Structure 1
């Protein structure tokens, strides 16, 4: 008898994080480079495979750009967000020719189960694509947070999907023709505070079930100094996002 997966993420915090994005995106300078990169990757992939128009589901695209593009291509699109779809349970609707998940599967407690449910929501011969932040993303931010806490570092950032383990996960979930791709997105910052603000604006803030206590004022200053200590000669720190994209079918 298999045991239940550990509770790492808080589903209520996931929903609240997603809901906050709309308000934060009202700023003219609000960042959206991560989701834009994911959508571009998915769009290019779909153009390459040249699938005929059919029924499609899009999960997690708070910009609406991908769903709009699919509708223009003739697909009948159903849009889901964390508040309307529990990815760790069987989908309320199935039989989709295409399923696309954008930036949501990195914060589910049962990733293998979510991948099974995603496959089961496909029609026979359907295609699923899931893109998320994973790998060794945000190394400089992680190091800065560890330096902020000194000898007793707290869990301030959640674990990420290792692309090396992803092929096995897809095979366990029964995806046919599984493919795992990883690409790097590099963004440069002159301050830790702006990086953190950009993460929150893009719905990439923490949703741990047991969040660490807030940093003290001294801790914040140590984190800022540790982050800038990794700056290049121009005073900017290069931060990397590793985007993992999973593709397969039923």
Structure 2
């Protein structure tokens, strides 16, 4: 099979749309700001020094700025696929987060905010990031989860079925939280943690939601997307369906965003280790017996 045919996302189109949207990002940067703040709070609770950190998706500069405010974080290198997206941040390098160019055991902290969901080979990228971390180095990220934009997806599918008789994919798929936990383990991370935060964003209409997605550079870049433009009839019907099914009492519509936070450490001997089989001091049956006091014969 041709390798190009196996690519879920058109990464060149993604970059082009981000570059086109870059001047309008301040109009729709609330998710980037929120996830940067959330990751900053999580790092506050980590009693570790990180002399060298990388912001793997520095678009907007929010995450890099947050990292530089952390007392225990030293040098922060901002990374993006185009110099324009770096916004003048220094130090910085232009690189592809799908192919991180870092030497093995060279980094203390790697952070990614709302970008890894566009990576075609996420398992491979996670393995490379784990290798780039020094022993006991930390990887921490945020990305959209599986139910993100479910209302938009349902409305477009229903409208397409009514107006064209088809159901072309128009919203990109997002990762499942259970799959991400397994991917961290497969990549060799120790002490993996994955949790989900549901967020509801409200809009005046479907058209306001689409304006935000374009301003974020976050419209679909599926390689197998329908190349025909969305017809006016389908778009108007989708707006009607959205309002019928997902509007609140005041008429504003809801858009779900699932923010998945994930973290893992490069293995180190100082970390907590699971007990060896057979080393338990008590039988499980005794611990589960409510009639027998624990620790007594």
Indicate whether the TM-score tops 0.5.
yes
Equivalent-residue separation in structure 2 for 1:53 and 1:8 (angstroms): 34
Cα distance change, pair 169–53 in 1 and its aligned pair in 2 (3 A):
closer
Partner of 1:87: 97
- Residue in 1 aligned with 2:115? 104
Shift of 1:148: 2.2
**Preserved CA contact (<8 Å) 2:146 2:173:** no
* Unaligned 5+ runs, structure 1: none
TM-score when scaled to structure 2? 0.78
Contact 2:37 2:66 in 1 (8 A): no
Structure with the larger RCO, 1 or 2 (CA within 8 Å, 6+ apart)? 1
CA distance in 1, matches of 2:176, 2:101: 25
4+ residue stretches of structure 1 with deviation over 6 A?
A: none
1:7-59 per-residue CA deviation (whole Å, 9 max, x = no partner) reads 11011012223323321135xxx122211221111001000113224100002
Residue of structure 1 equivalent to 2:214: 200
Q: Distance in 1 between matches of 2:100 and 2:80?
A: 15
Asked whether the 8 Å contact 2:56–2:97 carries over to 1, the reply is: no
Q: Secondary structure at the match of 1:229?
A: helix
Deviations 1:160-208 (A, max 9, x none): 1000211111111111110001101111112101001111222322111
Shift of 1:154: 0.5
Aligned CA RMSD, in angstroms, stands at 1.9
Task: Please state if 1:159 is matched with 2:173.
Answer: yes
1:60-209 equivalent positions in 2, closer than 5 A? 60-73=57-70, 74-83=73-82, 84-93=94-103, 95-150=106-161, 151-209=165-223
C-alpha separation in 1, matches of 2:127 and 2:95? 15
Return 5+ residue gaps in structure 2 as ranges. 83-93, 267-297
One of 221, 227, 236 as aligned partner of 2:242: 227
Indicate the SS of the match to 1:144. helix
User: TM-score normalised to the size of structure 1?
Assistant: 0.91
What is the aligned length? 245
